[in-house]
Amino acid sequence: MKTLATFLVFMGIFSAHVQALAPLPPKKKVVLRPGPNGGNTTFDQLIDHSNPSLGTFPQRYWWNTTYWGGLGFPQVIFNTPGESAGDFYGDILTNETLPGLYAQAVRGAVVMLEHRYWGKSSPYQVLDTQNLTHLTLKNSIDDVVRFARTVRLPFDRSGRTNAPRAPWVMAGFSYSGALAAWINKLSPGTFWAYHASSAPVEAIHDFWQYWEPVRKGMPQNCSNDMILIADHVDKMLESDSETEIRELKAMFGLEDLQSQSDFASYWDIFPSPIARYDIFYQMCDSIQGVRPVELDPDVFRPSTYTPTPIDPEREVSADGVGLQRALGNYAEWFTNEFLPLKRCQGPEYSQPNNTNSVECLVWDNATNPKFTDLSVDNPWNRQWIWMVCNEPFFYFQTAAPPGHPSLSSRANNAEYYDRLCRNFFPSQRQAKSSASNGRTAEALNAMTDGWFVNTTRLLWVNGEFDPWRSASVSSEFRPGGPLQSTDDTPVYLIKGARHCNDLFTWWGERNQEIGLVQQQAVAKMSGWVKDFYNSTKRHQAGWAW
Please report, for residues 323, 410, 497, the alpha-carbon distance to residue 251 in angstroms, rounded to integers and kept in the order given: 14, 19, 34
- Residue 265 sits in the same domain as residue 126: no
Q: What angle do CA 198, 202, 208 make, to 5 degrees?
A: 85
Distance CA 75, CA 155 (A): 12
Side by side, which strands form the sheet with 491-494?
Answer: 38-46, 56-64, 109-113, 76-79, 168-173, 193-197, 458-463, 491-494
- Residue 120 sits in the same domain as residue 76: yes
**How many domains in the chain?**
2
- Residue 35 sits in the same domain as residue 82: yes
- Residue 403 sits in the same domain as residue 525: no
- Residue 463 sits in the same domain as residue 519: yes
**pLDDT value, residue 58:** 99
Is position 214 within any domain?
yes
Is position 542 within any domain?
no
Which CATH number goes with the domain that contains 59?
3.40.50.1820
Kindly tell me the burial class for residue 263, based on how many C-beta atoms sit within 10 Å of its own C-beta (0-12, 13-18, 19 or more). Answer: buried
Is position 475 within any domain?
yes
- Residue 58 sits in the same domain as residue 191: yes
**pLDDT value, residue 9:** 27
- Residue 138 sits in the same domain as residue 254: no
Structural domain ending residue among the three candidates 372, 398, 432 = 432
Distance CA 284, CA 121 (A): 40
Structural domain ending residue among the three candidates 384, 399, 432 = 432
- Residue 333 sits in the same domain as residue 416: yes
Distance CA 60, CA 232 (A): 49
Is position 92 within any domain?
yes
- Residue 386 sits in the same domain as residue 274: yes
Structural domain ending residue among the three candidates 369, 402, 432 = 432
**pLDDT value, residue 443:** 97
Distance CA 517, CA 382 (A): 34
**pLDDT value, residue 470:** 98
Residues belonging to the active site: 174, 466
Is position 17 within any domain?
no
- Residue 34 sits in the same domain as residue 175: yes
Write out the residue range of the structural domain in which residue 34 sits: 24-197+449-537
Is position 386 within any domain?
yes
The phi, psi pair for 387, rounded to 5°, reads -65, -35
Average pLDDT per run of 10 along the chain, which is 545 residues long? 27 40 49 66 98 98 94 81 90 93 96 97 98 98 98 94 94 97 98 98 98 95 96 93 94 91 81 66 93 77 53 75 95 88 77 81 81 91 96 96 95 93 90 86 98 97 97 99 97 96 95 97 97 72 45
Helices (H), 426-481: 441-448
Is position 1 within any domain?
no
Is position 274 within any domain?
yes
- Residue 261 sits in the same domain as residue 365: yes
Q: Where are the beta strands (DSSP E) in 86-244?
A: 109-113, 168-173, 193-197, 204-206
- Residue 221 sits in the same domain as residue 166: no
**pLDDT value, residue 40:** 95
